[in-house]
Structure 1
Amino acid sequence: MRELPGEGLAHPLALTGIRWHRARAGWLRRPGALIGISLAVPMTLLLVIRFRTEVAATLSNVPAPSWPWLVVCGLASALFFLANALALRAASGLPLRLPTAAGVQLAAAAANRVLPAGLGAIAVNVHYLERQQLTRSAGLSAVAAVKVAVALVHVAGIVLVAGMVGGRGPGNALGTPIGPITRHVGSGPALACVAGCLLACVAVGGHPRVRARLGPPLTAAGRHLLLLARSPRRTAILLASAAGIKIAQIVALASCVWAFNGSGSMLSIATIYLIGAAVAGAVPTAGNVGALEPALALGLTAAGGEAASMLAAVLVYRLISYWLPVLPGAATLTTLRRRNVL
């Protein structure tokens, strides 16, 4: 029996904000939380006062950004949502209206800031496809096809740029962004972290309950991918849209680097982004927050950029491409729900 469109995904999405506020209120009523806040705030103020001279000296070395390049970053970030809409339309096989599909991607970005590991975007996209008379299993398969296509394009991009950066071969190209990370963290802890993540994935995937829950969706996704592979036109559009997603992100980052007088070429910035995003992908946070920023900043600094300027460029890039869409995305989410699109 086909599941009703309003079941399952709509209610967790609608109640996410309420549950979060209730959880936050309960957390704030705990004595331990109040004691922690009362200790953390004064210590933070003391650290700011203690190191204000060093911080001010560092910030004074950061040049003022060039606003035209920041506008380019904003346009590239907008194209990111359009490319996602094209990818979803190709993967689903439905004649989705492109403006509406792009608005859904903007709403999905806002939901993704609430739920970790991309669950918010998945919920919004699947519920949208259900509203377009697609079954839930088919919707999940379409979203999975987009994820697979983006991952394949990402790996292909790494292989492509690895042998092109400066003509130095894949080893040096890959070492440019990864080297600073291993030097600061240490090769031993870095390898142990990667090994631990792999072992955890294997252990979780091998659990009988996990296999029982994920087996049918993965089988349905595999069938959908096989059907998609038999349609060269849809496959080509999907892969081209996935490439557009990555190109938009790279152009947005490069624009911010150049806005702060960075001298990196598009090719070197693409290499740093692709490798940095792959390394940060091991962190299960929404949008790789807290992992992507240092990975990109270290890679750009190792490529010849000034440390403070490159950190500022990365933070501005994340502000424009990741955080600024939250408010319009939340408004779009509300509008689409009122129109029964979601």
Structure 2
Amino acid sequence: MRVDGRDIPVTGSLLQPLIRRTTDIVRVVLAALWLTVVIAASVITRPEWLALERSVSDIVGFLTPDQSNLVYLIYGVAILILPFAILIELVIGRQWKLLAGYAAAGLLAVLLLSITGTGLSAPKWHLQVPERLDTFLSQFLDDPRWIAMLAAVLTVSSPWLPTRPRRWLWFLLLAFAPIHLVVSTVVPARAMFGLAVGWLVGAIIVWVVGTPALEVPLDAAVRVLARRGHTVNALTVVRPTGPGSLTLAATVDGPERELTVELYGKNQRSSGALRTLWRLLTFRRGETAALHGSMHRAVEHRALMTIAADDLGLAAQTAATVAALDRGWFLYAHSAPRGTPLAEHPDSVLPAVWTALDLLHSGQISHGDLRPAEIRIENGDTLFAGFASAEFGPSDTQIQSDIAQLLVTTTAVFGKETAVRAAIDALGEQAILLASRRLTKTAMPSGIRKSVADWGSVVSRAREEIRKQTGQDKIEADQITRFSRNQLIQLVLLIGLVYVAYPFISAVPTFFTQLKTANWWWALLGLGVSALTYIGAAAALWACASGLVSFTNLVIMQIANTFAATTTPARVGGLALSVRFLQKAGLGAVRATAAVALQQAVQIITHLSLLLLFSIVAGTSADLSHFVPDAMVIYLAVGLTVGIIGTFMFVPKLRTWLNTSLRPQLQEVLSELAQLARDPKRFTIIIAGCAAITLGQAGALWASIEAFGGGTNFVTVTIVTMIGGTLASAAPTPGGVGAVEAALIGGLAAFGVPATIAVPSVLLYRVLTCWLPVFCGWFTMRWMTARDMI
């Protein structure tokens, strides 16, 4: 490179890669919105749109017919040669790789607008020259495929075209609408649709492929450094340009013998704006650094923080210059980092490292990105590099974040015991305990995650070692996001509740009309009987847990369990909530899971035994065809089951999971069942509790039927409840909504209960056993969460 008569050798590639800018994403969104507006204006509000066009045309339509034809002719010729002009520009600029994107954009736009209900429709362009040239040109101007092709190729080519030709070409294409208003009083809707489709196609291709960054103004950077007293003799590319900066090592004559030159282009931080917006939406205010209005301000802030740290004697580098360059580039030059990385030193330097961090915080500076490479040792002194995420006047949150980052870094380099012991000796247990709450995957910045190998396990080891050395039973993680995991789970459950409640809400008017004829004493009896199911479930789980938990709290948990089970498919939420409650009550994870699994196993055995018993007692020839699935469904279920079993048997990872995770649980359940056989009292409590669940549900349905006039006996209702509930439990809907109602109504019909009684009875039963408990369960679950019971 020759600058001001001097030859400066440049080693390394300055080739700009294709990157995805924020503007590329915004362009796709805007193109999709514009296409939506065009479709809405053409289909929904076309009459009003035509009236508006005529009103505008009355104002601008001042040309005579001959003048209109002349304008149309000139514009038609220009728009006809537009794609060839773009092609020539690309050839002159030697953009050979772009020709594939150019062709793909044009062909794709034409193909999309050629699709009809009967297949592909070829363009109907009569290339033989007619008597009037303007008529010939109108074949292209009014064809949406031509306009779409022009918009697509121009969108794809724009980033590579010079500024002035690009602006003129876009002006020529967008002049399509006003030209038609002046000449023909209306803008063809199909042509506007083609323009929108072409823009969207081109925007998507640019977004997928990427756009080039700007040409590097290296000569301007050399001149700026020379004015600051640093004469550049040679440049070496250290890190090619990309999402970060273009970094070069410069050999100079001046106060420093070597400088690190960082160049930032307009497009170097392609997703910076979206990433910042995401952090603002998801992280709490104290977790998000102050926004910078531009990259100029961001780099300037970094340089100023380096100067402030250098005044404290803690900066590993000295800021040389900060300057804006041509074509939107920005320069930041600083001295090469002094000292050697932390990983090259023994653990004896740890006290000095923690002392240096404490001095940095005392100087009202937080670093924000304490990667191993950013911590350097020179003659026993600790220095810090980077400062891209540093803040002046840090909050307590930012100081604790620095401590947590340094804990992770030193743990990765020196091991957990040495790192944690040095931190506690330097800052004390209380400061380390507060910072350890931020030892979570979410709290770690991206720099730590990229630079520390297996950083997730390092974070876990550091937190566990702090707990061990401080004697704490548990370290609660600090919430750094606006929404905690529990809040997100509750939001999902609420959405599921709204989803499953919609079919019921739609039937509310008719149901309330039928309620006028109900006997409310029977309804109250059904509500009381359904309440017994919670006591039975609590008793069964209490006995399965060997009486190690509070029975009263178990009853309360069963109410919350109704909400969690109803709003999740297959009632998995209820099972997870039960396990969580037992863990919070002091049981280990394996023991809590085994207790819940034992209850479910006994529940299934009791359910099937009661079904067999009541079927024998019923002794009826009722039509049970409503309960028998179609043969194809049975074949599919059997085939799916065999396929799942075969997959788990032949896939090594799944087979390993069965042996390591599921097998211990099954062994625990089987051993518990064996112990139950030798403990009659506990066995009786579990059986009675599980039976109370099934019989209580049957009793609630029977009372609901009696509230509307009756028509069947308790034995029949019990069979319907057990068979219908079993079939509906396989339904994918949360709480079995829809499937439960259909199965119970069909079962009652099979036993001769009229639909006028069966339908309102089942709806009342669902209100008593599902919707009222779900409403109460939501508040109960929040109450238990606030008291750390789940």
TM-score, length of structure 1 as denominator length: 0.76
Task: Mark the runs of 5 or more structure 1 residues left unpaired by the alignment.
Answer: 24-47, 49-54
The correspondence for 1:333, drawn from 773, 781, 790, is: 781
Q: Secondary structure at the match of 2:731?
A: coil
Within the alignment, does 1:249 sit opposite 2:722 as a pair?
A: no
Within the alignment, does 1:130 sit opposite 2:590 as a pair?
A: no
Q: Secondary structure at the match of 1:163?
A: helix
What's the Cα RMSD here?
3.3
The correspondence for 2:674, drawn from 226, 233, 242, is: 226
| Alpha-carbon distance between aligned partners in 2 of 1:316 and 1:143, rounded to the nearest angstrom | 30
Q: Which residue of 2 aligns with 1:270?
A: 718
The correspondence for 2:538, drawn from 70, 80, 85, is: 85
Question: Percent identity over the alignment?
Answer: 25
Following superposition, the deviation at residue 15 of structure 1 comes to 3.2
The correspondence for 1:211, drawn from 636, 641, 658, is: 658
Q: Which residue of 2 aligns with 1:261?
A: 709
Deviations 1:211-266 (A, max 9, x none): 25423322333333333333221111101111111111010010111111121001
2:583·2:589 contact (CA, 8 Å) conserved in 1?
yes
1:27-176 alignment to 2 at 5 Å?
64-165=517-618, 167-168=619-620, 172=621, 176=623
Structure-2 change in CA distance of 1:180 and 1:85 (3 Å): same
Q: Which residue of 1 aligns with 2:626?
A: 180
Structure-2 change in CA distance of 1:232 and 1:197 (3 Å): farther
Q: Which residue of 2 aligns with 1:30?
A: none
Rg bigger for which structure?
2
Amino acid at match of 1:289: V
Using CA pairs under 8 Å that are at least 6 residues apart, name the structure with larger relative contact order, 1 or 2.
1
| Alpha-carbon distance between aligned partners in 2 of 1:6 and 1:85, rounded to the nearest angstrom | 29
| Alpha-carbon distance between aligned partners in 1 of 2:679 and 2:772, rounded to the nearest angstrom | 37
Amino acid at match of 2:668: A
Within the alignment, does 1:17 sit opposite 2:490 as a pair?
A: yes
Amino acid at match of 2:678: R
Q: Secondary structure at the match of 1:310?
A: helix
| Alpha-carbon distance between aligned partners in 2 of 1:204 and 1:112, rounded to the nearest angstrom | 29
Structure-2 change in CA distance of 1:296 and 1:19 (3 Å): closer
Structure-2 change in CA distance of 1:307 and 1:197 (3 Å): farther
Higher-helix-fraction structure? 1
Structure-2 change in CA distance of 1:89 and 1:12 (3 Å): farther
Q: Which residue of 1 aligns with 2:645?
A: 202
1:91·1:238 contact (CA, 8 Å) conserved in 2?
yes
1:85·1:102 contact (CA, 8 Å) conserved in 2?
yes
Following superposition, the deviation at residue 64 of structure 1 comes to 1.8
Q: Which residue of 1 aligns with 2:766?
A: 318
2:570·2:730 contact (CA, 8 Å) conserved in 1?
no
Task: Mark the runs of 5 or more structure 2 residues left unpaired by the alignment.
Answer: 1-463, 465-472, 478-483, 497-505
Following superposition, the deviation at residue 97 of structure 1 comes to 2.9
Following superposition, the deviation at residue 279 of structure 1 comes to 2.1
Following superposition, the deviation at residue 107 of structure 1 comes to 0.7
TM-score, length of structure 2 as denominator length: 0.35
Following superposition, the deviation at residue 63 of structure 1 comes to 7.4
Following superposition, the deviation at residue 140 of structure 1 comes to 0.6
Higher-strand-fraction structure? 2
| Alpha-carbon distance between aligned partners in 1 of 2:561 and 2:643, rounded to the nearest angstrom | 28
Structure-2 change in CA distance of 1:76 and 1:61 (3 Å): closer
1:138·1:221 contact (CA, 8 Å) conserved in 2?
no
| Alpha-carbon distance between aligned partners in 2 of 1:264 and 1:197, rounded to the nearest angstrom | 38
Q: Secondary structure at the match of 2:586?
A: coil
Amino acid at match of 1:130: Q
| Alpha-carbon distance between aligned partners in 2 of 1:4 and 1:179, rounded to the nearest angstrom | 57
